[in-house]
Structure 1
Amino acid sequence: MTQVVSQLAVKPGCDLGQHRSAAELWAALPAELAGWLRPLANQIAKDILDGIALADPRYRSLLRRRGPGTLSESIKEAVSSCLDGIGDPLPRISRPALLGRRLGRAELAADGALDRLRAAIRLSGRIACEHLADAARRHRISGESLCALMEALFSTIGEISAAAAVEYSTGKARALTQQERRRHRLTELIVSGTTATERATASLAEALRWQLPDRVAVAVLEPVVPRIDLRPPRFDEQVLVDLGQPEPRVITADPRRHLDPADGALTGWRAVVGPLVPFTEAPVSLHWARRTLGCLQDGSIKGGDVVWAHEHLSTLWLLSDDFLTAELSRRSLRPLDALPGPDRLTLTETLFVWLQNRCSTTETAGRLRLHRQTVHNRVKTLRALFGAGLDDPGQRLEMLIALRARRLRLSER
């Protein structure tokens, strides 16, 4: 249809400056728009679901569920309800608020974050906006009607976001008992590391009957079973546990005893433990626990139910500064980088194993499962490339560090 609809206008008495609900704004739109926009409902809902799943993979399992009350059906109902409400003389109960409450409850149940949910809601609005703007161009909808249409959409997104935030925050507060709130606050104070909180820390610790230790280790927890089957870890009173964070935390003065996987306290969880440090340096322990978890997740290190940061110090050090490791690699391995691909890979592997085995050709041949003469020839080529640097202990150390860092970087990909 190519009819110009510049005559379509918002219903009389519906001043755009007046505050009204989303349902009233949809009802105030010209009824003629409904015939063009309602057929888009399914495609808009589908693109919103696909867009959210693509932008944040953590939502995929929730969005795959089908049936009444699920998130995917709630989103479809909300889209249809808005478009069905165009020009409706009797605005119905607003679906956006209902959807927002469902989203807030679902995010809380999944132990998610409110900021993450708000980002998904904003993305939904952008996707719907693109569809409606495209329809407006195709049907040559008047500027006044287009402005009213966008106001209705933005009001809908605002109502969804507000309802989700209220539901999430209310549920979160309801779930925390007074003692849990104290533990949550005490954990936050300890890992903040600011001296201004010393009195508050001591007061909270006394209220919890938690003795302030001289040294602590901070661990972050990662679920290793589906959330639906997950149970809170079980620790004694001298272990602080805060499960209200995106990365649940544990603070203990005796990590070897409290985080022993044999006692069953961590069933369903993996603990990544930072180093044992003076109490006031708890933020340092948390930092290295997080870094170790990141290396574990990207494959740079391997681990079981409990992973100790102090057992991976060289890996953490090599991956702690991208610029310095890249510069060291570029400077110390420049002769290799100038070679064509196959030769570079072969000689790089040989150099790494040769340096690891105290420059022994025999041991290198055994590790690589090659004839000793083959390794001898490769080392001869390496000497031609690196010259006297291959006999310098300092340069050999730099080469070994650079090669180790390069292998760790490759394992992250």
Structure 2
Amino acid sequence: MWHSLWLDRLVAPYRRMHRHVYRLVEGAGMTLVAPERGARPSREPALRNITRDRLAMLARQIVRAAMPGLPDDSNFTSIVSEAITAFVDAEGSCVLASQQVEVRMRDLGGRLADANTPLERIDEAFDTIHAAVQRGLQMALGSSVSGHVVIRLREGIVAYLAQLQTQLNSGWEHRQRARSTPAPGLEDLRATVFRGGGSRLDHALELSGFDPTAEFTAIVSVVDPLPARVLQDPNVLAGNDVREALAPVAWSMTLGDLVTRQVVLGPPAGLQRIGDSLDLTRRAAALLRESVAYDERTIVPCTDLLGPLLVGGNRLLVELLVQKHLGALGAAGPERRVHLGEMLLLWLESGQSVAGVARTLNIAPQTAHSRAQSLRKIFGDDLEDPAARLELILALRTALPGWTAETAR
């Protein structure tokens, strides 16, 4: 284990030197490096000048150095390239770069656990990767970059590799726990969370190996099954229905890279309280599936469907609300109806002045005043009545997405 000790000694000075900038954040079942409040991740713009050819050469050097000690993995080369690109795009910020590749590193750790790769071998691989990067750094930068910039980059690379190894090891350890978890324990947790049955939740959590304090987010696909790389991730609790899963909150930053079909993202909650969040997310997905609510985005936050969720369980109630309050907008024509509806909703929800609404919508002040006059003529005293205003907001939140989709066709 001298390799691990050597790596710890190498990282320790960097951590001491940057103690005022970086802290480890434990949350959502993941470990992230984040800047302390008020601190800013350091940037090295010189990285932007590295050519693609030099980056590709550096990636090949890393792969050649690490692969002899690791099992074959068809994704390893692409993960190395992504990690290098993330570091360059983040201009050397360990914080930002590690967040970009966290899901991929944890997934790789899980696959290495499936291949029965010992942690000692992973330690050795990171030692060789570190040496390969430090050897190839000056070649990649070229002769125009030297001195303190190179020193800072070398320090940043040490921290970055340490964080990547932390992420990979976390995926490895989680997969190992999952493999050693008795099947009844995991099934009991699924039954408790996804079906509302099974034994006491605390006992099921203890058997499953999941952190009971970590916050998760419900992910419910509107129509299609969730991708296998989501359902099979060691950090994810997959449901018995392949359209449902619970994922760490940090996934909300990277979920766009994992899904291609529409999903609803629920409000975060600990596993002890995730049932209510899951039920709400299921209802929101059903509203989109049944065309009661409309949203063209691939990832739809549940909180953006609160209006339809309040009234969407009853189609007649939706129709009555829209008919009661928005029928007069039908005579305005499809495009003008959308413009008036967008302005009215923002006006009611924000409490801004007409000039403020104009700035938010990026329209001319005279246009906003003209629309405000039209809205006052149509809705009159309802704009001042609290109960009517609430019903107007609910009606607009329900109807506007459909109107917008109509004009886009």
TM-score by length of 1: 0.39
* Structure having the higher Rg: 1
